[in-house]
Amino acid sequence: MARISGVDLPPNKKVEYGLTAIYGIGLHTAHKIVHTIGIDPVKKIRDLSDEDIMRIRKLIEAEYKVEGALRAEIAVDVKRLIDIGSYRGSRHKVGLPTRGQRTRTNARTRKGRKKTVARKAGPGGKK
């Protein structure tokens, strides 16, 4: 079982796709890592030698910010936006999209499940 940056990599996946299980490493970065080290991208993670895993681990620690350090940096950035009172910070605070998306419909990922609001009777007494 290959373990890098505190994450157990899925043994049945190819190296490039398995590395994406690490927070902060996407497919593009995984592709660069595999080619920098010179590992066959078709190889499965279970077929990697201990030496290959060590080389991947050293490269990731030296050149990339991943997992806990990256999550902490993002949390500090969001907290800074909230503290300075920026528009984006206020959107983060209330859990709404921060990059200009519409919220009248959609935005369910950020807003959560629908909360039905009762309608009041308007003028004339009808709903």
CB atoms within 10 A of CB 60: 21
Q: What is the band of 119 on the pLDDT scale with cuts at 50, 70, 90?
A: confident
CATH fold label, 3-63? Helicase, Ruva Protein; domain 3 (1.10.8)
Between 119 and 49, the more confident residue is 49
Q: Is 98 left (phi over 0), alpha (psi -120 to 50) or beta?
A: alpha
Nearest Cα residue to 98 out of 78, 113, 76: 78
Kindly state the average pLDDT of the residues 50-62.
92
CATH superfamily label, 68-111:
Ribosomal protein S13/S18, C-terminal domain (4.10.910.10)
Q: What is the band of 127 on the pLDDT scale with cuts at 50, 70, 90?
A: low
pTM score, two decimals? Answer: 0.77
Question: Structural domain boundaries of the chain?
Answer: 3-63, 68-111
User: Please, are residues 66 and 5 in contact by the beta-carbon 8 Å criterion?
Assistant: yes
* DSSP code of residue 7: E
